[in-house]
Amino acid sequence: MKIVCEKEKILKALNSVTKAVASKTTMPILEGILIQTNDKEVKLTTYDLEIGIEYIIDADIKEQGATVVNAIMFSEIIRKLPDTDINISLNEKNLLVIECEGSLYKLATMNPDEFPELPQINVENSISIEQNSLKEMIRKTIFAVSTEENRPIFTGCLFEIKNNKLNVVAVDGFRLAWKSKFLQNNSNDFTAVIPGRTLNEVNKIILDSFDTIKIGVAKNQALFEMENCKIVTRLLDGEFLNYSSVIPENWETRVRVNRNNVQNCFERISLISSSSIEKEKKYPVKVSIDIGKVTISCTNQTGDAKEEMYVSTEGQNLEAGFNPKYFLDALRAIDDEEIFVDFGTSISPCIIRPVEDGDYIYMILPIRLKD
């Protein structure tokens, strides 16, 4: 194998594929990058048996071949080389030789035949969506994915295609985030639960552009395809929450407020609420709503805090307790200037939604306040 490649091209590929390199494994081959030539292209592949990423770049192929090299070592060397063409070849001792201007490195390699093949996915259903739209949908839901492994289905986001609309839903048992978007092309109805870890990595790879990405699913695998990059991942098994049945349709108390103002109040109050050893679960913040006013307060062994805002309110007066982190996660994900915060009773879910944007909802369960 002998190739000449621009540093910028190979570095861009490495920044993508290294996200699927296994970090803790008893199989050293999974810590490597499979480098394969094909005519005038080089394909880089990584696979940790959960996520697999392929990236294809153009290069000057002097000699065809394939090898596997340690991903971290290879990518760090490439990253620190001068911004010019890089010569990469296999020598007679099966060492990977990297040459660039005055730099020369030789790395041990592994047998490419031992690198596991990425799953072959026979796509049954698929959608196409702009990369910037998918990026926004992931950003507005991923933080509500569960980190508890005892309920694996909630460690992923539900992708539901219904009536040509994509709904992305995340839930962790205490809160729910839902974002929707109508698709430009007709699609069959289907659902898939994609691991949160995969979506985090996809979000780092896709661009904030109008270029499209194709998402295809089979029985237990999903495939993300872009112009020169392909990501495969397993799907999560199990029954996802029937989210539409748990989102309240009516409210008893509604607050209309500037998002930035209420976010600043929660950030300040969190300095007190999260400073205790046992954190927010024992010391929630209390939200009190009177006519035209919202008071957010917290008391614990660290001290007292109170924030008052004069806002537009409708309905009943109310007191309820909440984990402030859940409020802040939602407020930071919303881009709109004004939001509605809707309440039922002190023990029923609270709904946060933008005033103008009807395709995003965030639901939080309250915490019982101690007398």
Q: CA nearest 334: which of 166, 142, 139?
A: 139
Fold of 2-114: DNA Polymerase III; Chain A, domain 2 (3.10.150)
Output the pLDDT for position 3: 97
Convert the pLDDT of each residue in 321-366 to its tens digit: 999 999 999 999 999 999 999 999 999 999 999 998 789 999 999 9
Output the pLDDT for position 281: 47
Mean pLDDT value of segment 286-308:
93
Convert the pLDDT of each residue in 129-144 to its tens digit: 999 999 999 999 999 9
- Domain 125-244 superfamily per CATH: DNA Polymerase III, subunit A, domain 2 (3.10.150.10)
Output the pLDDT for position 276: 52
Alpha-carbon distance 221 to 333, whole Å? 28
Q: Which residues of 47-63 are buried (b: 16+ CB within 10 A; e: fewer)?
A: bbeebbbbbbbebebee
pLDDT, averaged across the chain: 94
Output the pLDDT for position 279: 47
Q: Quick one: pLDDT band at residue 280, thresholds 50, 70, 90?
A: very low
CB of 288 closer than 8 Å to CB of 318: yes
CB of 42 closer than 8 Å to CB of 61: yes
Range(s) of the chain covered by CATH 3.10.150.10:
2-114, 125-244, 247-364
Is the pLDDT confidence value at 75 over 50?
Answer: yes
Convert the pLDDT of each residue in 222-276 to its tens digit: 999 998 999 999 999 999 999 999 999 999 999 999 999 999 999 999 888 876 5
- Domain 247-364 superfamily per CATH: DNA Polymerase III, subunit A, domain 2 (3.10.150.10)
Q: CA nearest 178: which of 160, 191, 196?
A: 160
Q: Which two tokens stand for residue 278?
A: 């046992």
Output the pLDDT for position 289: 96
Q: CA nearest 100: which of 90, 79, 86, 88?
A: 86
Output the pLDDT for position 39: 87
Residue 240's CB: how many other CB atoms inside 10 A? Answer: 17
Q: What is the pTM of this model?
A: 0.92
Is the pLDDT confidence value at 371 over 80?
Answer: no
Output the pLDDT for position 219: 87
Percent of the chain with pLDDT over 90: 88
Percent of the chain with pLDDT over 70: 98
User: What separation in angstroms does the CA of 256 have from each of 223, 259, 266, 315, 362?
Assistant: 41, 9, 16, 12, 15
Q: Which two tokens stand for residue 234?
A: 């397993």
For 131, list phi and psi in degrees, rounded to 5.
-60, -40
User: What separation in angstroms does the CA of 321 have from each of 13, 250, 269, 369?
Assistant: 47, 20, 13, 6
Output the pLDDT for position 30: 97
